Amino acid sequence: MPILARLAASVPVAQELAADRSVLAAVDTRALGGALLKLGDALSPLPDPGLALGPFGAVDARLAQVLGEDVPPLAPSTRMVVLTLAGLGVSPFLCLLPVLALALLR
């Protein structure tokens, strides 16, 4: 289910952003920004550095936070939540269709 993947991916990003906010309380933005830029340089050989895991993931969101820019929302969109709930609500009925069809044919 896409919503579960989105939620699972957002947890480490949220943790990194929270850790960065703690660091920013102790040092200035230049120190953390410089460290993140060095991290970005280290990831540049990767084909898609946005897919890196752990503290190396979400470098773009972390830099946006350091620069005071808007960080993209981590939570799933309302549309994704509604579609997931609708799918979960309809799926039991879809599972019963073959049984109902067999019962009607008898």
pTM above 0.85, yes or no: no
The DSSP output letter for 52 is -
What's the pLDDT at 53? 47
Regarding whether 19 and 66 lie in a shared domain, the answer is yes
Distance CA 52, CA 58 (A): 8
Regarding whether 38 and 69 lie in a shared domain, the answer is yes
- Domain count across the chain: 2
Q: Among 56, 21, 23, which Cα is nearest to 38's? A: 56
Regarding whether 34 and 81 lie in a shared domain, the answer is no
The residue with tokens 């230049």 is 30
Phi-psi category of 92—alpha, beta or left, where left has phi over 0 and alpha has psi -120 to 50?
A: alpha
Which H or E run contains 47? none
Domain that holds residue 28: 2-74
What's the pLDDT at 47? 56
What's the pLDDT at 89? 87
Contact 59, 43 (CB under 8 A): yes
% of the chain exceeding 70 in pLDDT: 83
Regarding whether 66 and 35 lie in a shared domain, the answer is yes
